[in-house]
Amino acid sequence: MALFAARDRSVHSRRRRDWQPAFSPQAIRHYEEKVLLHIEELDQQLELKAKSGAVDWYESVDWCQEQIQARLAKGPAPELRDLTYYIMEKEKENNVDAGPWLRGIVCSPSWREALAAVLHELVLHPEHIDKLHAELGDTCLTDTNALAELPHLNAVIQEAMRLHPFLPTGGIRKTTDTGVTIRDVHIPPHTTVLTPLYTISLREDCFEQGSSFIPDRWTTRPEMVRNAAAHAPFSLGKYNCIGQHLAMRMMRAVHACAGHQKVQVLPSSRGGRERDGGGEGGSVYVFCWAGAACF
């Protein structure tokens, strides 16, 4: 059973405690050292590709999945004491096969969706790529502490995650025997509660021009955020995303490359779904493999 699916509080807390050391500041630093090599490689590849043509998004996704499958198939080698190794070992102790779960985290939903969401918006709003480029200046792409201080980079990521929440109707919870009263609303016992994050994100009473991509609302136009509590891309409380700091640090590094290399849009080779930029020209989504390389 995946960690997030452990609904028994004590089981969940114990399993989460097991995972916690893998996300400590020291562990993240150690892990970053490895990942940042791939970020430099990504930046170089982007530069090369920009000269020789586009990279196909779908090929990149296939490559990414192959890398992770190969990594998981190899199993935990003693010298590989990193995040993947740690989680696989811990989950083995809990009699859980972490393979599918890790593949789930790494290859797909959250990480990939968030990377794609930001790129999707950048592709549709190239002026923000220029702005990122200017903001980056000569900031080192692998200096994750310096990247964390860049307001527009952070704002672009937050805004894209607001418009494309990874769990559009997610965070399913169920009340217990007693039900629960929130303000003056009583939710009866054993009721499943769904939070429609996508709908909330677009509400005018939460965000002015809620359906528009306006990163400046997170920086110079705070009045456009009418209810900041409506934005919780990593969820809240005891079940919130344990990997959020790592995810944000890695996303900043990947998207800094987009700004640095001023990524441009070309038509998609296999036609586009909505998130691919679809009717508006498709996209060159070169970054998925950077995410994959991270793991």
Sites of contact with ligand HEM (CB under 6 A): 3-4, 16, 105, 110-111, 114, 166-167, 170-171, 233-235, 239-243, 246-247, 251
Residue nearest to ligand HEM (CB): 243
Give least dist CB 170 to ligand HEM, A.
6
Give least dist CB 158 to ligand HEM, A.
11
**Residue number, 191 or 220, with CB nearest to ligand HEM:** 191
Give least dist CB 50 to ligand HEM, A.
26
**Contact assessment for residue 222 and residue 266, using Cβ atoms and an 8 Å cutoff:** no
**Residue number, 187 or 266, with CB nearest to ligand HEM:** 187
CA 278 to chain centre: 21
The CA-based angle 113-203-207, given to 5 degrees, is 85
**Residue number, 208 or 239, with CB nearest to ligand HEM:** 239
Give least dist CB 244 to ligand HEM, A.
6
- Residues with Cβ within 8 Å of 160's Cβ and at least 6 positions away in sequence, in order, are 114, 117, 118, 120, 121, 122, 213
Provide the token pair at 263. Answer: 């990524």
Give least dist CB 167 to ligand HEM, A.
5
Give least dist CB 47 to ligand HEM, A.
25
**Residue number, 206 or 251, with CB nearest to ligand HEM:** 251
CA distances from 57 to 134, 214, 235, 279, 290 (A): 26, 25, 28, 16, 12
Q: Work out the number of other CB atoms within 10 angstroms of the CB of residue 143.
A: 13
Rounded Cα distance, 280 and 92, in Å: 46
**Residue number, 81 or 270, with CB nearest to ligand HEM:** 81
**Residue number, 98 or 284, with CB nearest to ligand HEM:** 98
- Residues with Cβ within 8 Å of 259's Cβ and at least 6 positions away in sequence, in order, are 129, 131, 132, 133, 135, 136, 153
